[in-house]
Amino acid sequence: MIRIAAAGDVHFGLDSAGSLRPHLEQLPDRADVLMLTGDLTRHGEAEEAAVLAKELEDVTLPVVAVLGNHDYHGDQEKEIREVMEGAGTTVLEGEGITIEIGGRRLGVAGTKGFGGGFVGANATDFGEPEMKAFVQLTKELAAGLEEALEDLRDTDYRVALMHYSPIKETLEGEPPEIWAFLGSYLLGEAADRAGCDLIFHGHAHRGTEKGITPGGIQVRNVAQPVIQRAYRLYCFEVEEGEVACATAGEAAQAGAAGSVTAST
């Protein structure tokens, strides 16, 4: 069984120390990997990332993240990446990573992604240079994701991690007028072309958790305001008789007893 914990839009500020720690302490009993779908910080400052990095540095399971639009606001995205990587978090942009979990290989490819909208109501790289640049950026990031997913073809499962949405269904709840700023079909198209088993994104706080790409890949919007939880748990390959993941109560008990009882 492969157990994934996923969360988006944690929006860490200088006053956020300790807010994730109780959950992170339980996490090794409940999951094999933690995925963060961007907006790690509130104002895009490296100091804010340092607060989150400090929170994550003692986490014993692999942490994989992409950056979000907030992480770019302070023009410190490179520093934020360095701070996070310094704490052991893998930050992906057009890149992939393979994680060994119980003899199985989980591939994770990631990009921040960008906007542009969805077929029928999408931006086109035509006209002013600013419009061309806007669409071109999304195309470049989608191409990076596709290549990274292709490179992970020899893994058992592939997950695509992004901040912006690849489909409009997980934006339901947001005003349709802003969907073009919340995601792009180009991201979904890239994932469908390369193939993967699951897509996580965030960004759309008023959106919907579950959706599916035109090619049939399951999509989960794990922005914290959407899931109303610190994170969500997803499991691949749950065999008969296996408990998918320990409940929060069981994990707390296991933590208190200093033992691991999850998912046997």
Partner 1 sequence: MDEHEEEVARSRGRSTTEPPHYQVQKVREALAHDHRVGELELQVTIRGGKVMIAGTVPTQEVRDAVTTVVREVLPDAEVLNHTTVGTFPAPEGAERL
Kindly state the tokens that stand for 212: 């599916």
What's the closest the beta carbon of residue 8 comes to partner 1, in angstroms? 12
Residue 118 as a binder of partner 1 (CB under 8 A): the answer is no
Of 185 and 200, which has the nearer Cβ to partner 1? 200
Amino acid at position 192, single letter: D
Kindly state the tokens that stand for 21: 């720690």
Out of 38, 224, 254, 255, the only residue in the binding site for partner 1 (CB under 8 A) is 224
Residues 28-67 that bind partner 1 (CB under 8 A): 30, 42-43
Report the 10 Å Cβ neighbour count for 257.
Answer: 9
Amino acid at position 174, single letter: E
Residue 37 C-alpha from the chain's centroid: 3
Amino acid at position 31, single letter: A
Residue 233 as a binder of partner 1 (CB under 8 A): the answer is yes
What's the closest the beta carbon of residue 133 comes to partner 1, in angstroms? 22
Residue 15 as a binder of partner 1 (CB under 8 A): the answer is yes
The C-alpha atoms of residue 179 and residue 247 are separated, in whole angstroms, by: 35
User: Are the C-beta atoms of 42 and 72 separated by less than 8 Å?
Assistant: no
Residue 245 as a binder of partner 1 (CB under 8 A): the answer is yes
What's the closest the beta carbon of residue 89 comes to partner 1, in angstroms? 20
Of 109 and 204, which has the nearer Cβ to partner 1? 204
Closest residue by Cα to residue 51 from 40, 62, 66, 38: 40
| Interacting residues with partner 1 (CB under 8 A) | 3, 11, 13, 15-16, 19, 23, 26, 30, 42-43, 70, 197-198, 205-206, 218, 224-225, 227-236, 238, 244-245, 247-248, 251
